[in-house]
């Protein structure tokens, strides 16, 4: 009889060990799942919590400006803005001048470099003293701008803008 009791004890002991192993496996699986969900939530939060720097056009007391605005709950770091001007035929497409503008590193009108934009910050870049009008026979002035900045997650971003006759152009206004 003593041998059958030890067999029963061994079976019970083995069963408890297997239950402990299965429970530990489930706990590890749940931990990995929770870590994966947490990682995706953190990545989504980075997109929601990052800064955005955008451009709008405005007329301030007769002076046309590009208004640069920081949007989002966190600051934009190392903000650098360049604006270039091009004179084109009034009926010419903007794209060729835009492509040429983005290939040039220097700027006709550098405005600020390595600035800090806190949430809601606004910086105005004056373009012309009066509403831009056609000049020279059939020529207009177009302003192309590039804004580079880094968000608090150390990700670099670029915003391009184009202003034609006091309004944003149909092309050339995008953010990366």
Q: What is the pLDDT of residue 150?
A: 93
Q: Are residues 96 and 171 in the same domain?
A: yes
Q: Are residues 87 and 21 in the same domain?
A: no
CA-based nearest residue to 95, from 156, 173, 150, 148: 173
Q: How many residues does the chain have?
A: 176
**DSSP secondary structure string for all residues of 70-137:** EESSS-EEEEEEEEEEEEEETTS-SHHHHHHHHH--S-SEEEEEEEEE-TT-EEEEEEESS----BTT
Q: What is the pLDDT of residue 6?
A: 62
For 159, other C-beta atoms within 10 Å of its C-beta total 21
Q: Which residues of 61-88 are buried (b: 16+ CB within 10 A; e: fewer)?
A: eeebbbebebebebbbbebbbbbbbbeb
Q: Are residues 64 and 119 in the same domain?
A: yes
pTM (two decimals): 0.65
**Structural domain for 2, as ranges:** 1-49
Average pLDDT, integer, range 97-124: 72
Q: Are residues 38 and 60 in the same domain?
A: no
Q: What is the pLDDT of residue 106?
A: 47
Residue of higher predicted confidence among 67 and 7:
67
pLDDT in tens, 25-83: 888 888 887 777 766 666 665 666 788 888 877 666 667 778 888 988 899 999 988 88
Considering the chain, what is the average pLDDT of its residues?
A: 76
Q: What is the pLDDT of residue 149?
A: 92
CATH number of the CATH domain containing 158: 2.60.40
Q: Are residues 15 and 82 in the same domain?
A: no
């Amino acid at each position: 009889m003593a041998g059958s009791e030890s067999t029963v004890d061994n079976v019970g002991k083995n069963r408890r060990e297997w239950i402990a192993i299965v429970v530990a496996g489930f706990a590890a699986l749940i931990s990995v799942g929770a870590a994966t969900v947490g990682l995706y939530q953190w990545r989504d939060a980075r997109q929601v919590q990052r800064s955005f720097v955008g451009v709008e056009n405005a007329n301030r007391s007769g002076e046309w400006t590009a208004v640069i605005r920081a949007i989002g709950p966190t600051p934009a770091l190392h903000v650098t803005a360049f604006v270039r001007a091009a004179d084109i035929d009034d009926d010419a497409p903007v794209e060729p001048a835009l492509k040429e503008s983005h290939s040039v590193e220097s700027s006709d009108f550098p405005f600020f470099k390595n600035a800090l934009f806190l949430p809601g910050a606004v910086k105005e870049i004056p373009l012309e003293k009066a509403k831009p009008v056609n000049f020279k026979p059939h020529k207009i002035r177009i302003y192309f701008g590039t804004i580079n900045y880094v968000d608090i997650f150390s990700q670099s971003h670029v915003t391009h803008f184009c202003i034609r006759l006091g309004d944003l152009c149909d092309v050339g206004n995008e953010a990366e």
